[in-house]
Structure 1
Amino acid sequence: MAWIKTVPYAESTGRLRQLYDRVKGPGDNVDNILMAHSLRPHTLEGHMAIYKYVLHHSANRVPKWFLETIGVWVSLLNRCSYCVDHHFAGLRRLLGDDARAQAIRGALDTGRIEEAPLAPREHLALRYAERLTRDPAGVAREMVEELRRAGYEDGEILEINQVTAYFSYANRTVLGLGCTTDGDVLGLSPNNSDNPEDWSHK
C-alpha cells in the first residue's frame, strides 16, 4: 500500500481513529493516500481540509466533473496512475455519460486535449493547468487574462488554479511514498458539498 508504515483502520486509536471515522468509506475503507498520513494525523487533517474545500465545496462555480477532469489531466502529466484511476472513476460518475467520459480520457491520454468533447474555454483551462504543472514559473499574466476573456470569472480562475495545485501535491504524496490502489474503492469522494465538515467517502 505504501513504502512507509501505515496504520490500518482496525489498529487505529485516538485522534487517528477520529479522523479515519470522518474519511472512511463502506466497510471502514480508508483510501491508501489518506492512510499514508497515519503516522502524522495532523497532516491527514490538513490534506483532507484542502481536498474538501478545493474540490468538494458548494461555493465552487466550476462544475465538479470538470474540476475532476483537471485532476485527471494533472495526474496524467505527473504520471500518477493512482490519482488518475481514482479521479477518472469520479469523473465518469459525475458526468453520467460514459461515452463522453471515455472520449475525454482518450484525448487526455494522448495529450491532444483539443480533441476532447469540451468547450473551448475548458480546453484553455486545461492548457493553463498543463503550464502550471510542467512549468510553474512560465505561467504568464496573459494566460489568466485569456481565461477571463473566455468567460471565466476570477473566482473560477482561482478554483482552476487551486485544483491544479492540489493535484500536484496529491500526486507527489502518492508517488513519493509508493501508494497503490490495492484495497481502495475507486471513485468514492466526500460528496456532501453543502457540509464542509462532512469528509465521509460515499
Structure 2
Amino acid sequence: MNPQPSIHSSLPDDIALKIASSLEGWRGLYIKKHNEMAEKAAGVVNFVERCLAFESIEVGHYLKAIKGLNTMEFGFKDIQMFFLKPDLNVLLNLVGLHYCIALLDTPAEYLMEVLHSCNISERQVHVQWWKLGRWFYGFRMRDELHSRNISLGDLVTCKDEEVLGVLRRGAVHEVLRIQIAPAKSETQRQDPR
C-alpha cells in the first residue's frame, strides 16, 4: 500500500520551506507568549501567597491581585490555564474566577463548564466582613460580624448576591474589614487544634 503524499510533497520546495518556517515562527511566537503569561501568572500567585495571613487574605490585597490580572491583560484562556486548577489554593481559583466575572464579563455557562471540567466547582471559600455598628438612640451599637461559606459554582450563579457584592466593593462605606479564606471542613471546625 502506497503512503499518502503529504501536502508539502506536492508543493515546490521553496514554497514548502516558506510554509514550514512560517509555522515554526508562529509556534515560537506562541511558546514565547505562553511563557510570558506563565511568568506573569507566577507573579500574581506569589503576591497572593505573600499576602496570606493565617490562611486568609484581606480584601485590599485580593482586589489588587485582580487589578494586576487586568493590567497584564489576562484573557479567559490564560485564567483557565493558570488559575482554575485543582492543585492551587482555592483563593487563587477565586481571584481568577472573580476576574472572569467582573472584568472579562465571561458568560456563566462557560465558567461553570470550566469549573466542572477542572473539578473545582464545589470548592468553598469563607468570607467574613465587619459592618459598622448602627446608631440607636444616640449610641453606636457594636460592629456586626457577618460570615458565609460559598462554593465557586455558587459565586458564578450568583446564589449569594451579598457575598458577591462585598467582594466587588471591598471595604467601603459601612463595611470595615473583609477577610477571605479557604472554607474549613466540618471536622476542622470541631477540632480545636
Normalized per residue, the structure richer in helix is 1
What TM-score, normalized by structure 2, do the two folds share?
0.26
Q: Which has the larger radius of gyration?
A: 2
Normalized per residue, the structure richer in strand is 2
Bigger relative contact order (CA 8 A; separation at least 6): 1
